[in-house]
Amino acid sequence: MNAPALIDTFDRRLSYLRISITDRCNLRCLYCVPDGRLPKLDHEDILTYEELLRLVRICTQMGVTKVRITGGEPLVRKGVYTFLSQLSAIPDLQDLSVTTNGVLLGPNLERLREAGVRRINVSLDTLRRERYREISGYDHFDRVWAGIEKALLLGFHPIKINVVALRGINEDELLEMGRLTFDYPFHVRFIEYMPIGNARMDPAANLLTPEIQERLSVLGDLKAVGRQVNDGPAQRYRIEGAIGELGFISSVSRHFCNRCNRLRLTASGQLRGCLLSDQQTDLRTPLRSGASDAMLANLIREAVRTKKAHHRLAVPTAPKVSDPMSGIGG
């Protein structure tokens, strides 16, 4: 099958697929699972690795070159390392990365590397052990940090540290987080909190990029770093003297929809054009009822055709996103 590239009606070329391989997670972060209870899909509702590989192969034939594996927590799914090696072997896939909370990272870094993964994003909202427990529900800070340091030694690059910036929760650590870039080649990325799923955070907890940047400016001038082909939505900066970078993912204050190149596949096999809209196309049913590759490619193309110009998070009358982040993958 040789299919034309995935280009939507706003002339955006979709080359980046984010896949949530499980909705299970070994943490209960308060902004992601506010009532501490993750909705759980039945095992048979989650796409198998064979189904995922088939969809990725079809997508790469339509111009997808970059895949990120996320969750839930991707490293809790059995067989994930073999799956990652199989993904790495897909000829047109140029960029494979994983987003993890890092809890299982340390003991599995060699397996990740053998599976062909060189780039990881680790979510870490605080550098304080007790606060980590308060935010995530578990006392795992030390092992996450040990995993990050080991990843550095093993040559993973870049290591991106994702920080959801929350007023009254970790705002007093923004400078410490920013200072990490003077000591480590990390890309520290500040993410604006997005009110989706069953989120019940106080909207006043939202810290937006302009304020975060203003606070970080005491560390030095933020110099913009030129964008590269496979760059995601983060605006990238470096402070003079730093060996790492700062990034800002401003989904709320300055959405980047006009250059969005992403599709998302949920753990249950729903293809979404936008993280912040519940509009989705079911790929699991056709996958399991004998659809050919060409039929699946048509469904993917149709999902791309209906991708909206931009999200409507800031529109008060727009429907809220009801699906949980754990199933969509963030």
Contact footprint for ligand SAM (CB under 6 A):
25, 31-32, 70-71, 73, 99-101, 123, 162, 164, 191, 193-194, 196, 199, 325-326, 329-330
Exposed/middle/buried for 28, CB within 10 Å: 0-12, 13-18, 19+?
middle
Beta bridge partners of 159: 120
> Please, which residue, 62 or 187, has the CB nearer to ligand SAM?
187
Shortest approach of ligand SAM to residue 116 CB, angstroms?
A: 19
Minimum CB distance to ligand SAM smaller for 15 or for 162: 162
* 195 vs 286 by CB, closer to ligand SAM: 195
Minimal distance, residue 311 CB to ligand SAM, in Å: 13
Sign, Cα dihedral of 319, 320, 326, 330:
positive
> What are residue 7's DSSP bridge partners?
13
Which residue, 160 or 179, has its beta carbon nearer to ligand SAM? 160
Look at residue 314 and give its three-state secondary structure: coil
Nearer to ligand SAM, 193 or 248 (CB): 193
CB of 298 to ligand SAM, least distance (A): 30
Minimum CB separation of residue 295 from ligand SAM in Å reads: 30
Q: For residue 206, give Cα distances in angstroms to 168, 232, 255.
A: 9, 22, 15
Q: In the complex, what is the shortest distance from the CB of residue 313 to ligand SAM, in angstroms, rounded to a whole number?
A: 11
The torsion region of residue 200 among left (phi > 0), alpha (psi -120 to 50) and beta comes to alpha
Give residue number: closest CB to ligand SAM.
330
Question: What does the H/E/C string look like for 80-140?
Answer: HHHHHHHHHCCCCCCEEEEEECCCCCHHHHHHHHHCCCCEEEEECCCCCHHHHHHHHCCCC
Name which of 270 and 326 has its Cβ closer to ligand SAM. 326
**Beta carbon of residue 241, minimum distance to ligand SAM (angstroms, whole number):** 27
